[in-house]
Structure 1
Amino acid sequence: MSSNRRRNTNPSRRANPSEITTPPTETTVRAFRICQLRSQDPNNLSYEERVELWNLENEQFEELVIQPALAYYDRYFQRAPAQTDGGLGWRNIWHRLQHDVAACLQLLRMSLPCFTTLCNMLQTNYGLQPTLNISIEESVAMFLQICGHNEVQKDVGLRFGRNQETVQRKFREVLTATELLACDYIRTPTRQELYRIPERLQVDRRYWPYFSGFVGAMDETHVCVKVKPGLQGMYWNRHDNASLNIMAICDLNMLFTYIWNGTPGSCHDTDVLQMAQQSETEFPLPPSDKYYLVDSGYPNKQGFLAPYRSSRNRVMRYHMSQFHSGPPPRNKHELFNQCHASLCSVIERTFGVWKKKWRILSDFPRYNVQIQKRVVMATVGLHNFIRISNFSNADFADVMTETNNNQNLSMILVTWMQQR
């Protein structure tokens, strides 16, 4: 029946748009009155009209200029209210860490005694100071949480009961102190120290005396980084992401002894080594009878011992996975490559522990190039600190257990090859 209803087609009954009016707002009335008063000659205005115009202009200026400026300041510059709970979030976390060893290793990436020693050292030797409401332990814990789990600073603030501005400020303070710690714990060996033969090398029958000139293993790894679109081509690596090419040297104790930090990810390993030798006057170049073990990506020259490479007529196996999944070494060159890869794998294990412990290095980058470079040095220093401190750590223990199993298998293969 609704379709049969007659529509009202009388133009006189339609609504006139001019008749649809909304009540004027206070701003509109004020603006109209100001225009009305300004249109008159100022000399003809009475005293009451002049006072009225002055008041209306002040109200208009406050509404159009002052109030938006104050709102912008409150939104982007005003600090959040001070916390009145006295760090309740951190107190709950601290109570949990003291009674749960696994939670401490998960959150801080180190044991509680190691964490306490680190906090005392950062305060005593490297200038990190507490504030009225935040202790050294809480500041360092927030920094370790960000580096260990690559969490957003806002989420860390919610967990610790702090605002984001406080977390960001403490992150930078601890980062600066940790960089100073890294300068002391990443010790580049002197020339006299390079002449010393590592004790662990002498007692290992697989390598001694065949690799008597070994002073360390050198390799590169990539660390994710965030760059501007115009610079992505420079930092784009073969894994299809932007990164920094980090070249490092380590010893048999899985300690970093040298770091070349900040080369764009598109650079080849040989170019990075060349830049380090030309730019760094203190590059630890080995003596004439010593050498670093390097993989096939580096040149085989004085001071750097690379494995046998495959040629057009002959295929040479090198990686340990090729020996584990295939037959034993078929000749003396593959036997050398197998022992070379086994000894040189210490740098790969060191990189593995380092990146496993600090996920900020391999997950989605949240900081620019300069901050990421500083984070690399800080986490390398923390890696050496944990290793030197002799406190038990599950990451190093797992790697050492796996290494011992691989060493037993390699020893069987070497003995079998020598008996042939």
Structure 2
Amino acid sequence: MAGVHGLGWFGIVRLGMVQAAIGAMVMLATSLLNRVMVVEYGVAAAVPAALVAWHYAVQLTRPLWGHTSDRSHSRTPWIVGGLGMLALGTLLAVDATVMMASPGIMAALVAITGFTLIGFGVGMSGTALLALLASRTSVTRKPAAAAICWTMMVAGIVIAAAVSGANLDPFSEARLAIVASFVVLGAFALAMLALRNVERNTPPVEQPKPDGRALGFAEALRQIWHEPEARRFTFFVFLSMLAYSMQDLILEPFAGFLFAMTPGESTQLASVQHGGVLAGMLLAGLGGSLYARRFGRDMRLWIVAGCLGSAAMLGGLAMAATQGHGWPLRANVFGLGVANGIFAVAAVGAMLGLASKGAGAGEGARMGVWGAAQAVAFGLGGLAGAVLVDQLRAFMASDGAAFQAVFATEALLFLAAALVATGTTLVRAPEPEGLTA
């Protein structure tokens, strides 16, 4: 697995398993517990929404975790420590959910503590993991590495959701605790097995920067922000992820209000979108690595194509808001997923490459800055999309016009992100190497 080319494909898949474990545990807190609080215990929907937003806010600490891992001799302890915090926070969040059957100050304190640990855990483990992947993966394999890790993260979410859903009925507090504990324990154990000796047996592709460990945290952040490429890429990450997340909470209500879809049908529509995302991820990952000789050498092509495709598909949804039942909604949503997957994987592949390009500050600090921008965008995007739809529906007295305005806003954000990306010198890879381990 080791060698001058860094991680082999099996090593990349092993790190992808760690990403899958992170996704599985986060799914419990942000999806399953959200539903249980609102439906089974009658908690106001704003409560779990605020807790999820708080876990994103806590991830503003990502640059600190990344910089700290840069200054240490090994990133593995930071990944393990973050996974431990994530596991503990998830179990505390389960306890808090059960306590909400009789809400009080203690339930609120346990919930805030749990989601705080989840945010810290995701920030610490995720940032150190991406920094390890960036420093141990050759340039030609980074697009495929991004696709593998993000595809496996989605797979982790899907598997955890399927296991939880299949074993929660008939619902009881004891069953919830057992199922959640099983998912958390399984995910943590899988991550520990996947991590074993990966870092120790694989030398960095590039030598560490001579002054990277000597820089203080504030100085590292100033240095990153003073680099035009790093600063511009941070703007791109924020804009694109803001656009990406704005439709998270409104797509299913859109299908229900304007296409009269049942809850089951709208859930199937969401699965169509996720299927498109996976297809787009695989297309961008394979294209970036296998066809680097012509098109994949500059990641901007894939990023801009994904952003423009996303804008076009959102424009289609804006038209669907006025056309109604005659519009090919499933095809439109699948196309949106494909475009989202292309831009997301291409952006992460470029991120892995840019993390190793700058002088001074290490991969961890850079990944932390971009991870923080992504977390803020995700927190704001979902909330902004839902609030805008609610306010516009009341102001315009028209469901179609309200959703049309929000989808059009998302499309404009994607166009702005594409414009920012065109001015950024992203990863340009050498000739591609074969798919050998």
* TM-score over 0.5 for the pair: no
TM class, shorter-length: under 0.3
| TM-score computed with the length of structure 2 as normaliser | 0.23
Return the structure number with greater relative CO, CA threshold 8 A, min gap 6: 2
Q: Larger strand proportion, structure 1 or 2?
A: 1
Who wins on radius of gyration, i.e. which is larger?
A: 1
Q: Larger helix proportion, structure 1 or 2?
A: 2
